[in-house]
Amino acid sequence: MIFFRYTAMRLYISIVASLILAVTLIVLLPMHKRGGYFFVVNNGDSLTTVSNKLYKNGYTNFPFVFKYVFKITEPASTAKSGTYYLKDVTSLFQLSHRIATADFQVELMKVTIPEGQNVFQTAEILKDKLPNFDEDTFLDISKNSEGFLFPDTYLFSPNQSEQEIYDVMIETYNKKVGDLFDTYDVKDEIKRYKILILASIVEEEASKFEDRKMIAGVLNNRLKIDMPLQVDVTFQYINGKNSYQLTTEDLKNDSPYNTYVNKGLPPTPISNPSLDAITAVLDPEESDYLYFLSSKSGVIYYAQTFEQHKENKRKYYD
């Protein structure tokens, strides 16, 4: 009898030990996945989706295991979306807690997009700052969003997708610029877009707020009398040239952004303007000026007539 009890006890211990070993092997992450990898949980991913992604990416040898571990250990939580840096994570228990508490452990990278950058310049900055950023993908996503990629300082994860980066910048625009439009009670979307186009020109023409307000007023005066805007800064968008590099042939360019041969506003913004430039267009300085020019020293001179403008050009521009 004692022998049978001893044998049964050994069998019981052996079974329990085997079960513990099996469970341990199931919930442990493979050794090659403990060195530091990025794992993305998208917004709206279910536990089944996350579990399948972990299986497909080699974090577990058993599909759906994560789902059940998560439900047992984090019953009141949901999977939090974001990019996780999985370094020194050894088990699905640890991983479950990380994803349940949004413990990303990713060192976010600061990226500053200066005011007045166009979508191509913005993509170059992002490519320079983020190691896994694909410039072509971002440009494809943002090709119709000139003016809406708000210039600001952002914190992005090294592995954040181009779509996520785009969404953050658009959301920032909607919040900050949307609030500004609401302050000035501008609700019509077409009017908002025209303001944005003009603000992108004002952004490139001057850096001081007082000058921006004055230039916005001058450009409005031209628009009111159906006079071409005749601004040089749009050529930066056409061929990258500034005022001192333009030739007579450049001024004949048939681009829709050439405001010498086309009346009215360009078809889109030429850059992503600041709140300062947008405010200047929303609240321009009223004057009788129709002309302005900026000297090489940055001083802007205004004129009511073309003759006065030519005299300013002779004195301050040549």
CATH code assigned at 36: 3.30.1490
Give the model confidence (pLDDT) of 175-220 as tens digits.
999 999 999 999 999 999 999 999 999 999 999 999 999 999 999 9
4 domain residue, yes or no: no
Residues 212, 170 within the same domain:
no
Q: Are residues 157 and 247 in the same domain?
A: no
Are 90 and 21 in a shared domain? yes
Check whether residue 174 and residue 242 sit in a common domain: no
Q: How far apart are CA 82 and CA 158, in angstroms?
A: 12
| Average pLDDT over the chain, rounded to an integer | 85
Of all residues in the chain, what percent carry a pLDDT higher than 90?
56
The answer as to whether 255 is a domain residue is: yes
Q: Are 159 and 38 in contact (CB under 8 A)?
A: yes
In a domain, 198, yes or no: yes
Mention every residue, 6+ apart, whose C-beta is less than 8 A from residue 230.
222, 259, 260
CATH number at residue 120: 3.30.1490.480
> 59 is in which domain, residue-wise?
16-100
In-domain check, residue 216: yes
The whole model's pTM is what?
A: 0.69
Q: Which tokens belong to 277?
A: 């430039």
Q: Is 285 exposed, middle or buried (0-12, 13-18, 19+ CB in 10 A)?
A: middle
pLDDT tens digit sequence for 124-158: 999 999 988 999 999 999 999 999 999 999 988 87
Judge whether 242 lies within some domain.
yes
State whether 130 and 209 are in the same domain. Answer: no
The vertex-267 CA angle with 174 and 224, nearest 5°, equals: 95
Q: How many domains does the chain have?
A: 3
Res 23 pLDDT > 50: no
**Is 8 domain-assigned?**
no
Among residues 100, 129, 149, the one where a domain terminates is 100
Q: For residues 207 and 82, what is the distance between their CA atoms, to the nearest angstrom?
A: 37
Q: How many CB atoms lie within 10 A of CB 160?
A: 24
pLDDT at 22 over 60: no
* 60 and 23 co-located in one domain: yes
For position 214, what pLDDT does the model report?
A: 97
The answer to whether residues 159 and 195 belong to one domain is: no
Domain end, chosen from 131, 147, 181, is at 181
How many whole angstroms separate alpha carbon 149 and alpha carbon 151?
6
- 280 shares its domain with 195: yes
Domain boundary residue among 130, 151, 181? 181
Amino acid 297: pLDDT? 78
pLDDT of res. 140: 96
Residues 138, 193 within the same domain? no
**Same-domain check for residues 192 and 270:** yes
Q: Assess whether 190 and 273 both reside in one domain.
A: yes
Does the residue 309 lie in any domain? no
Q: Say how many residues make up the chain.
A: 318
Residues 252 and 217 occupy one common structural domain: yes
> What residues are paired with 140 via a beta bridge?
none
The mean per-residue pLDDT over the stretch 220-233 comes to 94
Q: For 74-122, what is each residue's pLDDT tens digit?
A: 998 999 988 788 777 778 888 889 999 998 887 778 999 999 999 999 9
| pLDDT given for residue 288 in this prediction | 95
Bigger pLDDT: 173 vs 254: 173
Residue 7 covered by a domain: no
In terms of Cα–Cα distance, which of 99, 149, 95, 154 is closest to 122?
149
